[in-house]
Amino acid sequence: MFGFEFFPPVLISVGALTGIIIAIVIAFMILALSFRLVTQTRCMVVERLGAYHKTLGVGVHFIIPLIDRVSRTVSLKEQVKDFEPQAVITRDNVTMQIDTVVFFTITDPKLYIYGTENPLMAIENISATTLRNIIGELDLDETLTSRDLINTRMRTTLDEATDPWGIKVTRVEVKNIIPPKDIRDSMEKQMRAEREKRQNILIAEGEKRSAILTAEGEAEALILRAEANKKQRILEAEGQASAIFKIKEAEALGIKLIKDAGADQAVLTLKSLEALALVANGQATKLVVPTNITDLASTVMMAAEFSRKEPSEKK
């Protein structure tokens, strides 16, 4: 009987203690769930009894358990969405594939969550329709060379369309433009022809430049040769003039010396004959003989006789 009366109080105290521990654990769990830590570049949208209550920023926040609920955690970083290539038709009825990349940020988490059911799908559809509208106004060549225009118009249109959803479109880039295969083949042939054309133009310009340089070189060489010949002739003329001047100066000096020496008529006549002999040895075909040649001959004979007598007299 003592054992039967002793054990029931012990069992009651253990059950009560277990209940207390469970209650404490549940209280701690509820308390832990009541606090939310929000990190940088993120925010939490809280609903109270199914309706929007508030948006939690960076820090530790307290919410009421079972009444408040975190609906969604939203990232405030810039996000990138690469859409699949879209089939578009240009103004000149060329079908091509174009894929775009959209950069956006979430500026209002409330509008982002409650504005549309699937914001990314909505952006993709708007991007596709906007791209078709823009490309439909351009022909093939304009589409291939107007990427900046396409990017700007798409960014403006998407930014206006996504503003009610709390989304800011920062950039739109056309990633790839893929024309049909036959168009690509034609473009490659055209590019090859353009390259060959530029190559031929460069070769022709090089040959032209080479010919011009060659002609300029020849002209400069002719000018230099002409200048050299001119200088040579001037120097030769100056040399001849100087030589003639020296000869005439020597002749004048000789005449002066003869005159100073008192030469008689016989000596002068002898000099005249020597000059006549020099003239006879020239290249002339006609020879003019002076009229007083007999007088000159007699004079010469007298001079010779005089020269023979002079030694005998000396003896």
CATH number for the domain harbouring residue 124: 3.30.479.30
Give a yes or no: residue 122 inside a domain. yes
pLDDT of 265 reads 59
Say yes or no: 11 and 51 in one domain.
yes
Range of the domain at 153: 79-179
Asked whether residue 174 falls in the same domain as residue 218, the answer is: no
User: Cα(192)–Cα(235) distance, rounded to whole angstroms?
Assistant: 63
Place of tokens 């304009």: 142
**251 and 295 fall within a common domain:** no
* Same-domain check for residues 98 and 172: yes
Instruction: Return the C-alpha torsion angle 62, 68, 72, 73, nearest 10.
Output: 0
In the chain, the number of structural domains is: 4
Instruction: Examine the domain organization and report whether 86 and 168 are in the same domain.
Output: yes
168: Cα separation from own chain's centroid? 37
Q: Of the candidates 41, 74, 107, which is a domain's last residue?
A: 74
Question: Is 35 part of a structural domain of the chain?
Answer: yes
Do the Cβ atoms of 77 and 41 come closer than 8 Å? Answer: yes
Give the other-Cβ count within 10 Å of 88's Cβ. 20
* Average pLDDT of the segment spanning 198-209: 89
Q: Is the pLDDT of residue 263 over 60?
A: no
Per-residue pLDDT tens over the stretch 39-59: 888 999 998 888 888 888 888
| Residue 37 belongs to some domain of the structure | yes
- Residue 286, pLDDT score: 54
Assigned domain for 117 exists: yes
Tell whether 255 and 270 lie within a shared domain: no
Over residues 142-161, the mean pLDDT reads 88
Taking only the tens place, the pLDDT of each residue in 64-111 is 888 888 888 888 899 998 888 888 888 888 888 888 899 999 999 999
- Using alpha carbons, list the distances in angstroms from residue 309 to 136, 158, 225: 137, 143, 66
For the chain, what is the mean pLDDT? Answer: 79
pTM beyond 0.75: the answer is: no
- Please tell me whether residues 174 and 139 are part of one structural domain: yes
Same domain, 174 and 208: no
pLDDT of 71: 86
Looking at 150, 179, 208, which one is the last position of a domain? 179
CA 128/CA 88 separation, integer angstroms: 9
Strands (E), the chain: 35-38, 42-48, 51-56, 59-62, 68-75, 79-82, 86-89, 95-106, 167-178
Residues 92 and 150 both lie in one domain: yes
Domain assignment present for 283: no
Residue 93 in any domain: the answer is: yes
Give the model's confidence band at 168: pLDDT under 50 very low, under 70 low, under 90 confident, else very high. very high
Q: Residue 176 in contact with residue 97, Cβ under 8 Å?
A: yes
The pLDDT value recorded for residue 11 is 47
Instruction: Kindly state whether residue 185 falls inside one of the protein's structural domains.
Output: no
Tell me the C-alpha to C-alpha distance, in Å, between residue 306 and each of 30, 108, 159, 300: 170, 149, 139, 10
pLDDT value at position 288? 55
| Predicted pLDDT at 101 | 92
Name the nearest CA neighbour of 179 among 96, 80, 281: 96
- For residue 211, what are the contacts with CB-CB under 8 A and spacing of at least 6? none
110 and 175 part of one domain: yes
For residue 277, give both structure tokens.
């002999």
Domain presence at residue 102: yes
Residues 129 and 194 in one domain: no
Within this chain, do residues 105 and 67 fall inside the same structural domain, yes or no? no
- Chain centre distance of CA 97: 32
* Residue after which a domain boundary falls, among 149, 179, 209: 179
The CA-CA-CA angle for residues 99, 105, 108, to 5°, reads: 135
Given a contact cutoff of 8 angstroms between Cβ atoms, the answer to whether 94 and 183 are in contact is: yes
